[in-house]
Amino acid sequence: MKAGQTALVTGVTGQVGHYVAEILTRAGLNVVGLVRQSTTGRAGRGAAELPYRPVPGDLLDEYSLLSLLEETRPDYIFNFGAQSFIPASWTQPILTAQYTGLGVVRLMEAVRRAVPHCRVLQAGSSEMFALSGTSPQDESTPLRPRNPYGVAKAFAYHTMLCYRQHYDLFATNAIFYTNESPRRSTEFLFRKVTRAVAEIVAKKREQLSLGNLDTVRDWGFGPEFANVAVQLLCQPAPDDFVVATGQGHTIQQMVERAFALVDLSWRDYVHIDTSLVRSSEPAPLIGNSDKLRRQCGITIALGFEEVLRLILAYDLRREGLRVPFELPDSPYRSYVDA
């Protein structure tokens, strides 16, 4: 990537999309962020402070996408636009399919027509492997989703394959496993736990309600995954890559460790609410990123313990509290340092 080139980031108000925009801006690229009218205020800052130029557009509207690409002529596109909250994919399955699945068709059609030279990265999801029956998963694992979100992501994945093979476009699939950051919403479980632990230490709450504690996840760090996304569009050729730490932990292990880091017993504060248990819990979702390491020389540096310490430290400081444990010695520490 070169200074002065243009990159378009969809889903730029989400965590990984925003970090990608920051990385590209620091590298001297002109970054355009596609935003729907309903999300323009989510970043919480004025447009002049954003690491991208916000432009209105919608993955539901192929004409606005085509017009935008003809106007901006991007060299790179990072597609993080999606309806990504899994419970909402059950209450809004059609909307999820339109944004998360068909939105990729609309985008790639616009690319094919307006900027066929453009390099495109599609953000996939470990939820595509929910019924695969094997763990860990890699690029050869059959896609067998278990919820509308995973189905839409699988459709998008195959769309990228089709446009790569049929039109010879630079279309890369990055299959991102669960990743966390200070920008992650507290409606997602990991941040829900770290925020609750900080508030319990601050004496602002007394209890945390959770569902199934046996679910296994592979948790990485959002800013690191954003850096991987940028590196993948600098590769000589497009391909499909699993992006994961390779470490699986149950929700109970995560909760137990989070409370232990502040010298508390999780059993004193956690309440099991059966209404929060998913009716279709996936198999253990643990990613194998060997191909990413072998082919691209990219190794995921931060694992479960480092990610948990970074996010919990951020939430403790947010409450004005001292951090009672050491933080990992990593450049990514700057994302939570006050």
User: Which are the catalytic amino acids?
Assistant: 125, 127, 149
- Work out the angle at residue 153's Cα, subtended by the Cα atoms of residues 147 and 159, and round it to the nearest 5 degrees: 140
Q: Which of 296, 237, 297, 225 is nearest to 78 (CA)?
A: 225
CB 174 within 8 A of CB 78: no
Q: Is 250 helix (H, G, I), strand (E, B) or coil?
A: strand
Alpha carbon distance 86, 149 (integer Å): 6
Alpha carbon distance 119, 199 (integer Å): 43
Place of tokens 């909307």: 95
Alpha carbon distance 319, 262 (integer Å): 14
Burial of residue 206 (number of CB atoms within 10 Å: 0-12, 13-18, 19+): exposed
Joined together, the tokens standing for residue 106 give: 């609309």
255-260: long-range contacts, CB 8 A cutoff, minimum separation 24: 255/193, 255/208, 255/210, 255/213, 257/305, 257/308, 258/193, 258/194, 258/197, 258/308, 258/312, 259/197
CB 25 within 8 A of CB 52: yes
